[in-house]
Amino acid sequence: MTTPLPRSKVQKNQTWNAESVFSSPKAFDKEVKGLLETLPEIKKYQGRLGDNPDIFIKAMDLIEELSKRAAKVQVYATMSSAVDTADQQGAATSGKAMSALAQVGAATAFIDPELLAIGEEKLRQWLANDPRMKLYEHYIDDLFRKQAHVRNAEVEEILGMLRDPFGTVRTTAHMLANADFEFEPARDSKGKKVELTQSTFDAILNSPDREARKTAWENYNDKYFEYKNTLASNLTASIKQNVFNMKVRNFKSSLESTLFNGNVPIEMFHNLLEIFKKKLPLWHKYWQIRRKALGVKSLNPYDVWAPLTTKKHRVPFEKAVDWICEGLAPMGDEYVGVLRKGCLKERWVDWSPNAGKRQGAFSTRVPKDTHPFILMSYTDDIGSVSTLSHELGHSMHAYYGSRAQPMIYYSYPSIIAETASNFSQAMTRAHLLEANPDKYFQIALLEEAMDNFHRYFFIMPTLARFELETHQRIEKGQALTADAMIELMADLFSEGYGGYMNLDRERVGITWGTFTTHLYIDYYSFQYAIGISAANAIAKRILNGTPNAAQDHINFLKAGSSRSPLEVFKIAGVDMTSTQPIEDAFAVLEDYIDRLGVLTGK
């Protein structure tokens, strides 16, 4: 709750190593210029891919190199704007990168339509006769799976060119919330002002001072509510873009379009929401336990993150790294060594809260000659340990995947990514629950667990229900207004609260406006719940001593997108064609709720 530092005052060891990507903004500009000058080289292969395997492989080798360079440009462009959203040079850098990436996408857009025109039979012959083609087998399999939805080269090039202007809608939401919004200060129980920014909001919500929590939550949501019409128009534009892409590619719904592209069965989405609705009484039980533990007559949304004990557990950054490494020790010395070195020597993590830093936390996906990088605001508490562990799960995924796979497979769909991050949290949490039996420490850990499950097994499924309804309305040609979106969101939360939480309909209803990343990535939110389900199943295998379980998980991380998501899950020993992992994850949640009820009831 202290005043955040200006970016210029943050110590270097608390910042990420941007200079390891490009030594200076001038070096970045030079690389962007060189990248764009290389694009005519790939166009030379247009119309020639079917000549023979040599031509095809040369073209793919060039795309591999272009993709590596584009990925580095993207990572660097993210860095300066993320740590200081008011930095105009950072904003310009981000704009240059978006434009360059769109041009790369447009220049390479002819590949898939041309391969489809060559025909599956000819490409299968190449696969059978030329060992060099084996690398591209999954790529070709997936391409012909999507065949009915790939347009001709001219249309694909236009769609590639649209990525830049379409991406501006997401950027607008990001800049509005992170660069332009100035929040009224919160006030604590003594009437003292508490500075409220994107980087301090979470820390205030975790404060024992209820008045500080209340005023922070109200002032934060009031700012979004003030701009409800702008935010609603912007989100509606994003949804319309999704529906446009759905129609261009001949899908029946935007949900089908998004999940088909990621090779995720549509039943997985609906199964999750059905199980979530069935399990809502678990959350109703938790609200009652939390109200009693806090000793309040009624529970409010800003009480969800309140500490249940007055005993604080200060955890410096270096100690957090130690705990995470101890929790992940079953993964082996190499895994732990890479993680520790990344945090303490190679500066993977930009962790100091500072003025202008964007909200939330993230980890970048990178080519193998670049470190993965994490942005967060570390505040020396158990919640920060959890966030760091989560993002390091992403980083280790990026590390292993980028070193094991070529660029066409090195990345991975979100449904896979959220497994690696939640796995890291589950392992860290299990270690700490076992290592320290102190009642108050146990309560703090279980609170961390509930914060995690609240986000991924309550907030995200609720957002997914909101997404489905808003997309369906646009698909039917219905209007979306700010008030209609607020009412829908408030109704969904009302069902989740079950009458055990005071419902401030306007402030709860504007929740959709505060998610300026998740709701601008089509049907992203539900994938968190799938990820945490698979993560707990993998952690259970390792903690139960299942032979080779740790190596199975490393192989899972290395797989990238070289197989379908369901096949990649199977590498880790998890069957996500079944609803059992989701049911089991809710059983873990129920155990945490029961344990917390016992500890706080004593």
Residues labelled as active-site residues? 391
| 136, 139, 144, 148 alpha-carbon torsion, rounded to 10° | -150
d(CA 3, CA 462): 33
d(CA 206, CA 306): 5
Strand partners, 187: 193
d(CA 521, CA 239): 10
83's tokens: 């740590």
Look at residue 5 and give its three-state secondary structure.
strand
Q: Which residue has the tokens 């261009």?
A: 248
Of 459, 571, 595, 583, nearest to 533 by C-alpha is: 583
8's tokens: 């210029």
d(CA 560, CA 413): 8
d(CA 213, CA 200): 11
Element (H, E) at 20: none
d(CA 436, CA 419): 26
Contact 547, 432 (CB under 8 A): no
CA torsion sign for 309, 313, 314, 317 is negative
Query: Which residues are within 8 A (CB) of 520 and not within 5 positions of it... i.e. 6 or more apart?
Result: 169, 170, 173, 235, 238
